[in-house]
Structure 1
């Protein structure tokens, strides 16, 4: 190839619309390597036949394609490059949806910042509240002191009870007969147990959250319990529920059989959820067969490793003969829920495969 046919880096840069500095970077990364480099001057020259690839790189650069993917596309056939781009589009769409949800949640948390410090009041059946507290506070049984506690959230005509130990979270939503205001408080597990005990013997209880204190009042106006919030920032754990991405598929199991399988010696420390086949596999290859929607069987392999005891704990408090596991991917919490109680849900963190 003669010198007359080669283009200088500045000419080539103008032809494809990429700065010369970017061309030097791409060359160092193995993308758009010059056809020739003068050994004495270091000048770079490109062949006219590289213009088509250069324009493609310019378009990928404008679309924000990462350098490794640029290399793969340039080295692939047209069908292979199309499949790579299709996967990138799917990933980008999922990330965009997640970022959108995070921005919505951020906006709501800013709007809530003022509301949660105000007073709030709600009236519920005492036995219902006691049962809900007992159901949710189980998630704090192994929690360290810096996260241990039950979060009470009153807003938008509902009461949310949330507890977590960082590795799994239990959430219960109740609809009070009467509700006014918005506030959030966090009580210790001991105070939560005392609240459940105080409510269990009363037909109705009024919950009041005022200036960082939780007060329970009976129908005669008598204060049956009062406790301050914990001495640390009260997290808005309900955001962990509301910002979860849409489930990719659901795996269903008979609740008692699932709990027994997870607590059996064969399950050991962890099990594997095989969503394609609708089953859970133990360390010694024992299997518990469940079911998945027919359409999900063709959505691709999805295998999620879970800690046996954490998943068993979540299953045990989701009341009902069947348990549904909402699955997204190997790094997103699994949503554990009973079809009979849609106001109760648990999130359980997966293990790394």
Structure 2
């Protein structure tokens, strides 16, 4: 190849984002040998068609991929390369989660003279179920870390778990075998709780203890888990709940048929037609007659529209075979709860109704 078609190492370094020293290292390791080396001067030259490999190499190293894995990604087909990338990222995420847990343990040990505050003792499987149900209403939003947390409030009678992503709000109240000895409130990191769920579920009893900047989940004969507290104020959900008007329409429908009807629609939005003949699940933008569901309905007929990602999780986490929908109008929050057990309640926000659709 004529030298006029090649780039000296400095130019190639600038265009690829790799330093000259890095290019020499990758050449010596066999990952990115130069297209040509001047036999007299030893100068290295690179071809334009090597830029893609060089750029990918740089990007892989920027996410801390080991050299052996980098070579495998560069030299395999796209599907296998994607699998190797997913595998590497999963390891990074797992390592980071483990480091966070260990850091919490270390910080707690450093402040071992600070007494913990017992909050409540719950059955492990029950607590794990609550965490999984309520955390479906969380979201990771830039600048709003509190939306990814689980708010815990302990009174002298019960303990309440609440989460919200602004479009849904889920709350569940438990009455422990022994009433909480202390009143306490805090918002716990949702990712830490998710990581602890498997261990919590295996515990016959789990004692929740508050410490500065976190809570301990004490699990006899198993590994205790530390979860961080979030510093941001949790949204004033109690005022919102207190301001809800009375339901103008109430529908009681079997949970499983409703979920199947939602699953049959591929669109991002869904419309519920609630009336004397039951609940009809329809796509907002086609002429399909929809899926009629038997339901017990009282009150006014109503059409109401939801994002599927709002309605489906709210229904799927309801407890029991039947769900009750308390509706207040096409633009007001809907309360979704079990028809026979009211300890898990979810509010779901509808979306603006385009009456032309």
TM over 0.5: yes
User: d(CA) in 1 for partners of 2:338 and 2:278?
Assistant: 17
CA RMSD of aligned residues (A): 2.6
Residue by residue over 1:246-267, the C-alpha shift from the partner in whole angstroms, topping out at 9 and shown as x without a partner, is 2222112221111111121366
User: d(CA) in 2 for partners of 1:282 and 1:265?
Assistant: 8
What's the secondary structure of 1:181's corresponding residue?
coil
Q: Is the 8 A contact 1:151 1:237 kept in 2?
A: no
Q: Is the 8 A contact 1:216 1:223 kept in 2?
A: no
Q: Is the 8 A contact 2:121 2:206 kept in 1?
A: yes
Partner of 1:122: 120
Pairwise CA distance, 1:136: 1.4
Structure 1 runs (4+) deviating above 4 angstroms are 141-145
1:132–1:142: structure 2 CA closer, same or farther, 3 Å change rule? same
Structure 1 unaligned regions, length at least 5: 1-117
Q: Is the 8 A contact 1:249 1:292 kept in 2?
A: no
Partner of 2:49: none
Task: Give TM-score scaled by structure 1 length.
Answer: 0.59
Counterparts of 1:148-227 in structure 2, within 5 Å, are 148-178=148-178, 179-219=180-220, 224-227=224-227
Partner of 1:137: 135
Counterparts of 1:309-320 in structure 2, within 5 Å, are 309-320=309-320
1:224–1:240: structure 2 CA closer, same or farther, 3 Å change rule? farther
Pairwise CA distance, 1:224: 0.8
Structure 2 unaligned regions, length at least 5: 1-115
Q: Is the 8 A contact 2:270 2:308 kept in 1?
A: yes
Residue by residue over 1:24-60, the C-alpha shift from the partner in whole angstroms, topping out at 9 and shown as x without a partner, is xxxxxxxxxxxxxxxxxxxxxxxxxxxxxxxxxxxxx
Task: Give TM-score scaled by structure 2 length.
Answer: 0.58
Q: Is the 8 A contact 1:120 1:182 kept in 2?
A: no
Q: Is the 8 A contact 1:155 1:183 kept in 2?
A: yes
Counterparts of 1:61-100 in structure 2, within 5 Å, are none
2:241 maps to 1:237: no
User: d(CA) in 2 for partners of 1:281 and 1:193?
Assistant: 32
1:231–1:327: structure 2 CA closer, same or farther, 3 Å change rule? same
Count of paired positions: 231
User: d(CA) in 1 for partners of 2:329 and 2:159?
Assistant: 30
Pairwise CA distance, 1:193: 0.8
2:292 maps to 1:288: yes
1:133–1:245: structure 2 CA closer, same or farther, 3 Å change rule? same
User: d(CA) in 1 for partners of 2:117 and 2:243?
Assistant: 26
User: d(CA) in 2 for partners of 1:315 and 1:328?
Assistant: 17
What's the secondary structure of 2:148's corresponding residue?
coil
1:240–1:223: structure 2 CA closer, same or farther, 3 Å change rule? farther
User: d(CA) in 2 for partners of 1:239 and 1:219?
Assistant: 38
Q: Is the 8 A contact 1:184 1:209 kept in 2?
A: no
